[in-house]
Structure 1
Amino acid sequence: MAMNFKVFNDVEHVAEYTADIIRKQFNNNPTTIAGIHLTKDAAPVLDELKKDVDHNAVDFSQVNILDYDDNRSYYEALGVPASQIYPINFDDDAESLIDDKIKTKENKGKLILQVTSIDESGSLNVNVRQGLLKAREVVLVVTGANKREVVKKLYEENGKSSFEPADLKTHRMVTVVLDRAAAEGLPEDVKEYFTARFA
């Protein structure tokens, strides 16, 4: 039940770090099922992922993507077979979709990684119960000064409030990747602790 914050100097470093997590996951587990929803943030994660994959080839033949952002052509260009890219909406039940269409003996029907963004009102646009909490690992990308109030609430709320993102605190593995501007929402000592290690 840990929410890890990682603070980087700018959006480029946030994007590089997040892209590296995604590529390593695909590389280490070639049957990964991953949900990706990044339209609510400016960090160029997918651009960095493409660069990363160009330098470090990945076998995408058994990877399955839950595509929240209608990026089919991007994933096809990476090498994910078209039949393994699934458009999904906020209200869709990721678990049911996986059971119905994706589950194989190799991937065991488990949502391994969910990468998501958040808007300045605190909306994740991914179903928390059916999408985020079911994933083995969640990466939340948050950049920009306009998100610092959301970061403050995320840090302070205990998960028993109406602020939905705080429900992520019940998950066992959540990494919140921030730039300095968004991290202004964290208490100074917390921000310094997580910045000193990663910036």
Structure 2
Amino acid sequence: MAMNFKVLENEHDVAVYTADILRKQFNNNPTTIAGFHLAKESAPVLDKLKKNVDRHAVDFSQVNILDYDDKKSYFSALGVPESQVYNVSFGEDTESFIKDKMKTKENKGKLITQVLSMDSHGKLDISVKQGLFSAREVILVVTGHDKKEVVHKLYEENGQSSFEPSDLKAHRMVNVVLDKAAAEGLPEDVKQYFTARFA
């Protein structure tokens, strides 16, 4: 169980950093199953991912995407076969969905990465229990001053409240990538540590 915070300068840097980790994930594991739900985030992660992939080619022929935001045309342009981009909804049980719809030899039908955002009220629009816990890694992208209060709650709460994002603390690996504006919600010493570490 680990929740790591990575504080970067601004939305642009958050998008570039997140896109880079995702491109490396796809490159290192060409049979990745990944979920995307970034509709509530202003950092243009998908734009930066496309630019990154244009510079560093990736074979998407065996990649499968859980598409929460109805961005099929984007993933097709990226190189993911249309038949491997699946529209999924909030309450979808990802393990069952993957078992029914897709299977790759190396991953044995395992969800590798979920990348998502939350709104200024902490709403995820993905069920933590059914949509996120089965992923090996969760990347939560959070930017903007309007999110500092939910970042504070995410850091402080222990996962035993009605604030759903705090349930992520029970997940094995969560990376919260945020800009300085959203990081205002972290305690000063924590913010300085994660800013210095990832600056």
Normalising by structure 2, what TM-score? Answer: 0.98
Alpha-carbon distance in structure 1 between the residues aligned to 2:61 and 2:167: 34
Instruction: Map 1:5-154 onto structure 2 (within 5 A).
Output: 5-154=5-154
Q: Which amino acid in 2 is paired with 1:105?
A: K
After TM superposition, give the deviation of residue 23 of structure 1 in Å: 0.5
Count of equivalent residues:
199
Q: For the Cα contact (< 8 Å) 2:66–2:86, is it kept in 1?
A: yes
Alignment root-mean-square deviation, CA: 0.7
Q: Secondary structure at the match of 1:36?
A: strand
- Residue 172 (structure 1) aligns with: 172
Structure 2 distance, partners of 1:97, 1:145, is 36
- 1:172 to partner: Cα distance: 1.2
Moved over 2 A (4+): 104-107
Q: Which runs of 5+ in 2 are unaligned?
A: none
Letter in 1 for 2:198: F
CA shift digits 1:82-113 (9 cap, x unpaired) = 00000001021111110000123333010000
The 8 Å contact of residues 6 and 194 in structure 2, kept in 1 or not, is answered as yes
Once the two structures are TM-superposed, the CA of residue 130 in structure 1 deviates from its matched residue by 1.3
Tell me by how many angstroms 1:168 deviates.
0.5
Maintained 8 Å contact 2:37/2:115: yes
Q: Secondary structure at the match of 1:105?
A: coil
Give TM-score scaled by structure 1 length. 0.98
1:160 aligned partner = 160
Write the distance in 1 (CA, Å) between the matches of 2:103 and 2:127: 20
How far did residue 2 of structure 1 move? Answer: 1.0
Distance 1:182 1:8 in 2: 10
Q: 3-state SS of the aligned residue for 2:116?
A: strand
Deviation of 1:192 (Å): 0.3
Task: For residues 7-51 of structure 1, give each alpha carbon's deviation from its aligned partner in whole angstroms, at most 9, with x where no partner exists.
Answer: 001000000010011111100000000000001110000000000
Counterpart-to-counterpart distance in 2, 1:103 and 1:131: 17
